[in-house]
Amino acid sequence: MIRFCAGIILTLWAGSLSAQTFPALYDVTGVAADDALNVRAAPNAAADILSVLGQDEAGVEVIGLSQDRNWAQVNSGEASGWAATRFLTLEKDYPYLPMANLSCFGTEPFWSLRKPQIGRISLDMLGSDASNWRQNISHRAQGRRDRFSAVGIREDGEIIVTLLRESCSDGMSDQMFGIATDVIITGANLMHLSGCCTLQAN
């Protein structure tokens, strides 16, 4: 009977993971107060340790899961690695993607964008002053669950931030990200930027 119940629990747990969309924010749980959660180079306990997560660390971005769902791919330090999923708990009530706090970035030229849950979308271009747009609307692409957009407006034009759930590299580090983006600025200063985004804690 105990073995049967344990099997049901494991099945439900695996099902909930498979239903989860990524990226998502998790908290480190179940680690002793004098210990830390290892982030390894590969999804197995024998792989080299790249870095550690604190025993009470919150807002850890999980990009995806290993095939057996026992390991979560996370960014820690300057690299992407793997942490045991049994020590990670999904944050509750995190908003759906285009309403989330996002930090986006790209190269050639270097740029960074901040899209808070509430407030103005801010774009920084290397060597220029920050530009701001009032957030107006957010959408999910018709018939899709992996494509979204957020739009900001001001008198001289709009900024359109497209968000796609897919693996993305910034080309500068060993990190991997779970959101690819295109940023389109309309008006006299028409511009199209491409890069990656990462979720930020509320």
pLDDT in tens, 47-101: 999 999 999 999 999 999 999 999 999 988 788 999 999 999 998 776 677 788 9
Structure tokens at 88: 């990670």
Q: Over pLDDT 70: what percentage of the chain? A: 89
Task: Give the whole-angstrom CA distance, residue 183 versus residue 166.
Answer: 16
- E strand segments, the chain: 24-28, 36-40, 49-54, 60-65, 71-76, 79-84, 88-90, 102-106, 111-115, 120-125, 131-140, 147-154, 157-168, 177-185, 191-199
Q: What is the pLDDT, as a whole number, of residue 180?
A: 97
| Residue position matching structure tokens 């009977």 | 1
pLDDT of 18 higher than 90: no
| Residue position matching structure tokens 């740029």 | 111
Multiple choice CATH, 20-90, 3.40.50.720, 3.60.9.10, 3.40.50.300, 2.30.30.40 = 2.30.30.40
Q: How much is the mean pLDDT over the chain? A: 87
Q: Does the global pTM surpass 0.85?
A: no
pLDDT of 10 higher than 70: no
Task: Give the whole-angstrom CA distance, residue 81 versus residue 167.
Answer: 14
Q: Residues 169-185: pLDDT tens digits?
A: 988 888 999 999 999 99
Q: Residues 148-167: pLDDT tens digits?
A: 999 999 999 999 999 999 99
State the DSSP H helix or E strand holding residue 18, giving kind and residue range, or none if neither.
Answer: helix 2-19
158: DSSP letter: E
Mean pLDDT for 18-43 is 90
